[in-house]
Amino acid sequence: MKNYEIKALIFDVFGTVVDWRKTLTKNVNNFLPKALSNSDLEIFAHEWRKGYSDYISDFNNNKTDWKNVDEIHKDKLIEILNSFNLLDSMSESSINKLNRIWHQLEPWEDSVEGLDLLKSKFSIGTLSNGNFSLLLNMSKYSNLHWDFIFSGDIFMKYKPNKYVYQKACEFLGLKNDQVMLVAAHENDLIAAKKSGLKTAYVHRPFEHSDKAKKKPNNNFDYNSSSFTELYKLIK
């Protein structure tokens, strides 16, 4: 592939750029009226993330009305707090503060350096289902130097809806094959590929567990284990 054909890189964020699971398990207890065990913190984090995934699936199948990701997270958070018998001990303010933990997710160790390297060669930005304010606050907190932010509430649609990928390319004023999605999730990349975008898989073996996930075999344009490695492949 001629690398100069690619003009812009668009990034999935949760799990690809930032480590949502570790951020949650390390920090959730700071917001709770009583501490949870490590195993319960893992359950808490995974259930919270699953609430988002379940909503996106329902929305894309026309089973529910639009909500932004902050609202999705808060609704699920209230369910989880109730299941742990913590809800009655928390005020609305304390719940909102906990919900904003998603605005301060920690980047993977290669993310900041790798993004800056890639930014020196390409325009870079998010293509995330997160809402704009969440992604903006996260970029400031984690030193993610985006050229642009594409968020779910800009499109009023959610990946993997093909409209999101196609409209992002339109906004950039580029042909679909001049734009590459960078992501750790194969379903996202497959949808982008079907829409004519280039694709780069970045392996994040510890996104869901402390036990490393095996790197899958796939047919994407690039495969790497970090943004810095991806930079070396395409510079």
Q: Strands across the sheet with 222-224, in order?
A: 148-150, 123-127, 8-11, 179-183, 198-202, 222-224
Strand ranges (E), 12-166: 123-127, 148-150
pLDDT at position 195: 97
Per-residue pLDDT tens digits of the chain, which is 235 residues long: 445 599 999 999 999 999 999 999 999 999 999 999 999 999 999 999 999 999 999 999 999 999 999 999 999 999 999 999 999 999 999 999 999 999 999 999 999 999 999 999 999 999 999 999 999 999 999 999 999 999 999 999 999 999 999 999 999 999 999 999 999 999 999 999 999 999 999 999 999 999 999 988 889 999 999 999 999 999 8
Cβ distance 190 to 175 under 8 Å? no
- The SS3 assignment for 60 reads helix
Q: How far apart are CA 143 and CA 164, in angstroms?
A: 25
Q: Against a cut of 0.85, is the pTM above it?
A: yes
Q: Is 173 exposed, middle or buried (0-12, 13-18, 19+ CB in 10 A)?
A: exposed
What is the rounded distance in angstroms from the CA atom of residue 44 to the CA atom of residue 84? 9
In this structure, are residues 128 and 91 in contact, taking their beta carbons and an 8 Å threshold?
no
Q: What is the pLDDT of residue 2?
A: 46
pLDDT at site 178 = 97
Q: What is the DSSP letter of 235?
A: -
Report pLDDT for 115.
98
Whole-angstrom distance, CA of residue 230 vs CA of residue 220: 13
Show the domains of the chain with their CATH numbers.
Answer: 3-19+106-234 (3.40.50.1000), 20-104 (1.10.150.240)
pLDDT of residue 3: 52
How many Cβ atoms are within 10 Å of 20's Cβ, its own excluded?
A: 21
In contact, 168 and 8? CB cutoff 8 Å: no
